[in-house]
Structure 1
């Protein structure tokens, strides 16, 4: 299998202490991590714009897959034989920023083994959550990383993370806090079918990482202008820097 591009939609809905809702389109990749270099599997015309780099994700080695296997090993699990599929952005024009990367890990028998949610903020920090979704592909985790200057580190996530398939993907992350309405982020995508959809995907791909970063900062400016209080940023957790 080669890396496959999907035309994706990202939406964030904040309801407290003020209403803020935005949606944007982008390109997202489903990348099999089978031990080969995914860049070698790109079409020749994609290589001019897109790169997949282990250094843009968790771990220290030059192998994206080995880094995931090593991370899982810190939980006492042997992932060496697992099939691992990533849902991620890519480095475009030499720059990468992936607010969320998901990894679906499957046993050789086909049984689900785990899902990893790797979260990155605009301060260069990241944290990875290893979760065990239930039969509805829903998992829960306590929030550990300061993601937004307008949200502190309290609360917990509910993640709906069904694995991607040929038709697309549909991910939902909900942040819960006592006494507050949830903050909801959705990330969905589909393989382009029409000529118009293929054109939109092609237009989104070359500078997708740069555009994502600009959009995040512009939304931050809008919230700041509306006087949403900024929350102090704590020191990054020790588990993963």
Structure 2
């Protein structure tokens, strides 16, 4: 497993091919951390990185890990205290917006158990997709009714436009690996039905293909929407690991001031542009709000 905590300055890219072609890129930074032990920052830096359990899952338990464990228990999964690695945006100056938070979950011996993809939209709602490896290491979706869909398609090779990775500011602690690791969070494609309204220009249908390898020196994620034999939307997140030092955080905050508010604003600006291009808005189905109003 990857040592934590760490910061990943990264580039988020969206490419839309239907019903009109549109692409966007923006730069930000994300945290890789242990939800059991989030970073304890010096007092002057705490406004730049807060990890609030209200921002995840139902938001009504005292810790993020408690929310994750309750979600997994609802699907019949008990990690028995095994380690979890979380990739997320932290609160910055009291504000957070997390389009995607990922949790790589392990058993007590360190073997991978599942990935949880927590998706947020701009309407204050969130939804979690639970993805499991099968006995052959194939990625599959855990449905709400506890059935699974296999995805045996090989992963596409990563195409990164980022510069070669540089060494982190401080040595990264290597966690002990088990002697035998039956599955790894590699570059397989997870398949899951789309069940959550995100973009106002896509209905809730089709399925996602997600490539979600556990970050190491590189962060390289892909989420692709497939509908009726087409691939109308692809998002990638690519970045380079940095040690979570005070200097790294300050530089990231200066380069991307109030980063989570900037991400939220950018999504709305691009949505207005697409609307002005004539894209029809799809009706938004009711979804139980989980987002904290604070």
Q: Give the drift of 1:205.
A: 5.0
Contact 1:138 1:158 in 2 (8 A): yes
Q: Give the drift of 1:104.
A: 0.3
**2-side partners of 1:132 and 1:154: how far apart?**
21
Task: From 207, 210, 216, give the equivalent of 2:258.
Answer: 207
Does residue 21 of structure 2 align to residue 19 of structure 1?
Answer: yes
Contact 2:125 2:288 in 1 (8 A): no
Q: Radius of gyration: which is bigger? A: 2
1:228 aligned residue: 279
**1-side partners of 2:102 and 2:73: how far apart?**
17
**2-side partners of 1:55 and 1:205: how far apart?**
24
Aligned-CA RMSD value: 2.2
Q: Give the drift of 1:45.
A: 4.8
Contact 1:192 1:201 in 2 (8 A): no
Q: Which runs of 5+ in 2 are unaligned?
A: 139-185
Q: Give the drift of 1:206.
A: 4.4
Q: Give the drift of 1:136.
A: 3.8
Task: Say how many residue pairs are matched.
Answer: 233
Contact 1:12 1:22 in 2 (8 A): yes
Q: Which runs of 5+ in 1 are unaligned?
A: none
**1-side partners of 2:187 and 2:242: how far apart?**
27
Task: From 7, 31, 47, give the equivalent of 1:29.
Answer: 31
Higher deviation after alignment, 2-11 or 57-66: 2-11
**2-side partners of 1:75 and 1:48: how far apart?**
35
2:109 aligned residue: 109
Contact 2:194 2:208 in 1 (8 A): yes
2:148 aligned residue: none
2:149 aligned residue: none
Q: Render the CA deviation track for 1:205-231: whole Å, top value 9, x for unaligned.
A: 541110001100001011001011110
2:82 aligned residue: 82
Q: Give the drift of 1:44.
A: 4.7
